[in-house]
Amino acid sequence: MTAVQPKTEATTITVRNPADGSVVGAVPIEMPADVAAKARELRLFQPEWEALGPRGRKHWLLTYQDWVLDNAEHITDVLQSETGKPRSEASIEAPLTATLLDYWARHAEQFLADEHPRSFSPFAVTKKLTTVYRPYPVVGVITPWNYPFVMPALDLVAALAAGAAVLLKPSEVTPLSAVEFVRGWTEIGAPPVLALATGYGDTGVAVIDNADFVQFTGSTATGRKVAVACAERLIPCSLELGGKDPALVLADADLDRAANGIAWGGMGNSGQICISVERVYVEAPVYDEFLAKLTANVRQLRQGQDDRKFAFDIGSLANMAQRDKVKGHVDEAIAAGARAITGGKPTGTGAFFEPTVLVDVNQSMTCMTEETFGPTIPVVKVADEAEAIRLANDSKYGLSATVWTRDRERGERIARRLNVGAVNVNDVLSNIFAFDLPMGGWKESGVGTRLGGAAGIRKYCRPQAITSPRIPTQAKEILWYPASRRRTKLALSLARASAARGVRRLGIKPR
Ligand code: NAD
């Protein structure tokens, strides 16, 4: 949830630690003219960056990887101060960023290599065919507040590796980590192809106005606006949006593993992960036992603000507006007959909300239909596998899901019946760590994918087709002037030859 853009003459955003309200920094609100100037400068340097080729860019990406590893403690301090995360959660972002840099730096050359397909069409059989992957000059990357350091990395590293220049617009709630991100790139002396635009939604609009491709991560509501703005400019975009991810616990599941995994998947980062477990369907025979185990797990979680001490499992939410949204979902459910068997209300003085397990919920409550993005796990008893699948699919979202069963084949079979972009069997969140797999939402959870091998870097490229003659001594080609009946006949016989080849492949005799 974006902080509302205040109607003030302010030229800066004050950043606060949501765990205690203290001021931790400030960034400028960049106006459309500032953003346009930055994009112009990126355009000046991008051709040289592209010309370096994947090998030349690899040098800078790996140098930057060293910078991230050398500065991991400081990065963690900064992102912890603006998110209210406990140390254990905050300290994952720098290592994950370093690994993403490694992945794209080492694979870009292979993924971007020219391709030379053999012509299927007889009309081009005499040609050498080449597909070249050329980057969009300026990629706008717009990010939310839940992972302020690694979230930009998840998308912009592939864009840089592709040879694009990147204009990063971080969330107004957590811009300080992005300041560090770009500072590091400058500090290593890398070419100036990564720039920062801080501000509210209007700054995001200006980024779209000046980019050639937009990679957006955030809420479905804002994603819709981004899609419209990109359509107006006729530029492509990729949208990673919200979710309401179901967990299906089957009667043959290892209940200890399921309860542990779902506690982590639902409460990790205070539930502020796009692929958090947001609703759980449990087969009737194991419902009571599973619920007892899950509740015991959740009750054990330690919540608080720990600076560098690794003392807590759960921190605060990212801001008070988010805390109020979570409270709204829980209060509405309880008013309609649900029960919080643990947690259920805000706690402490900052943006903390107790880790909460809800029961007696039904499919129409807001806590089951809308993304909560908080430390809440609503649990529902179902008759059987079929009902679990039906209810899991009964959502406007389709980001990810988890299935819990001792029978792995059964889990993978059920995965293919779930209408979501990723399914983790007997685990949570694991797809995000598997860079070789595509990550993307179905339905209102997104358009396009990130990561996923070659597709994850080629998305930042415009494929260019190049043809040249394989037989350069030919005086003229068959389709050139002069136009003639002979040419038409030749075209028809080439088409017949192609059709004959096609039917032969099906085992049918050509006429
Ligand atoms: P948000 O949509 O409010 O804001 C995201 C970004 O968009 C911010 O930088 C914001 O300033 C900017 N923005 C706002 N209005 C804009 C406009 N009109 N044009 C361009 N940019 C604009 O999202 P949030 O509250 O910061 O983040 C939480 C959401 O992000 C949740 O819904 C979560 O599920 C989603 N998310 C999705 C993924 C994923 O991979 N699918 C990952 C993380 C978070």
**How sure is the predictor about 266, in pLDDT bands with cuts at 50, 70 and 90?**
very high
Which alpha helices (DSSP H) does 71-149 contain, by range? Answer: 72-83, 87-90, 93-112
Q: Please check whether residue 462 is in contact with residue 134, taking contact to mean a CB–CB distance below 8 angstroms.
A: yes
Return the pLDDT at 5: 57
Return the pLDDT at 510: 47
Around ligand 1, the residues with Cβ closer than 6 Å are 1-2, 142-146, 169, 171-172, 200-201, 204-205, 208, 217-219, 222, 225-226, 240-243, 274, 371, 373, 399, 441, 446
* pLDDT digit string, tens, across residues 421-471: 999 999 999 999 999 999 999 999 999 999 999 999 999 999 999 999 988
Letter string b/e over residues 173-199, b meaning 16 or more CB atoms within 10 A of that residue's CB: bbbbbbbbbbebbeeeebbbbbbbbbb
| Ligand 1 centroid, distance to 219 Cα (angstroms) | 4
Ranges assigned E (strand) in 297-437: 339-342, 346-347, 352-353, 356-359, 376-382, 397-398, 400-404, 422-425
With a pLDDT cut of 90, the percent of the chain lying above it is: 88
- Mean pLDDT confidence for 225-237: 98
Termini Cα distance of the chain: 65
Measured between alpha carbons, how far is 305 from 102 in angstroms, rounded to an integer?
32
Nearest alpha carbon to residue 224 among 459, 445, 419, 449 = 445
For a substitution probing ligand 1, which of 219, 323, 444 has the most ligand atoms within 8 Å of its CB?
Answer: 219
| Ligand 1 centroid, distance to 146 Cα (angstroms) | 9
Atom in ligand 1 nearest the alpha carbon of residue 200: 11
**How sure is the predictor about 127, in pLDDT bands with cuts at 50, 70 and 90?**
very high
Q: Please check whether residue 163 is in contact with residue 11, taking contact to mean a CB–CB distance below 8 angstroms.
A: no
Atom in ligand 1 nearest the alpha carbon of residue 218: 30
Q: Residue 471 to residues 115, 128, 468, 477, 491: CA-CA distances in angstroms?
A: 20, 9, 9, 10, 19
Nearest alpha carbon to residue 290 among 366, 352, 379 = 379
Return the pLDDT at 511: 45
DSSP 16-60: E-TTT--EEEEEE---HHHHHHHHHHHHHHHHHHHHTHHHHHHHH
- Mean pLDDT confidence for 277-305: 98
Return the pLDDT at 116: 97
Which residue has the CA at smallest separation from atom 15 of ligand 1?
Answer: 201
Average pLDDT of the residues of the chain: 95
Radius of gyration of the chain, Cα coordinates, nearest whole angstrom: 26
| Ligand 1 centroid, distance to 481 Cα (angstroms) | 55
- Mean pLDDT confidence for 168-191: 98
Q: Please check whether residue 118 is in contact with residue 470, taking contact to mean a CB–CB distance below 8 angstroms.
A: no
Return the pLDDT at 476: 84
For a substitution probing ligand 1, which of 29, 96, 146 has the most ligand atoms within 8 Å of its CB?
Answer: 146
- Mean pLDDT confidence for 5-28: 90
Return the pLDDT at 499: 86
- Mean pLDDT confidence for 157-173: 98
**How sure is the predictor about 398, in pLDDT bands with cuts at 50, 70 and 90?**
very high
Return the pLDDT at 503: 59
The strand pairing partners of 281, in sequence order, are: 248, 380
pLDDT at 131 over 90: yes
| Ligand 1 centroid, distance to 32 Cα (angstroms) | 19
Higher per-residue confidence, 108 vs 8: 108
Return the pLDDT at 147: 98
pLDDT at 505 over 80: no
Return the pLDDT at 473: 77
Higher per-residue confidence, 486 vs 114: 114
Residues designated as active site: 240, 274
| Ligand 1 centroid, distance to 322 Cα (angstroms) | 13
Query: Any idea which of 121-135, 207-221, 411-425, 444-458 has the lowest mean pLDDT?
Result: 121-135
Atom in ligand 1 nearest the alpha carbon of residue 222: 2
Return the pLDDT at 500: 83
Ranges assigned E (strand) in 456-498: 461-469
- The residue type at 70: D
**How sure is the predictor about 507, in pLDDT bands with cuts at 50, 70 and 90?**
low
pLDDT at 291 over 70: yes
For a substitution probing ligand 1, which of 15, 177, 213, 274 has the most ligand atoms within 8 Å of its CB?
Answer: 274
* pLDDT digit string, tens, across residues 95-120: 999 999 999 999 999 999 999 999 98
Measured between alpha carbons, how far is 196 from 368 in angstroms, rounded to an integer?
37
Return the pLDDT at 8: 60
- Mean pLDDT confidence for 355-371: 98
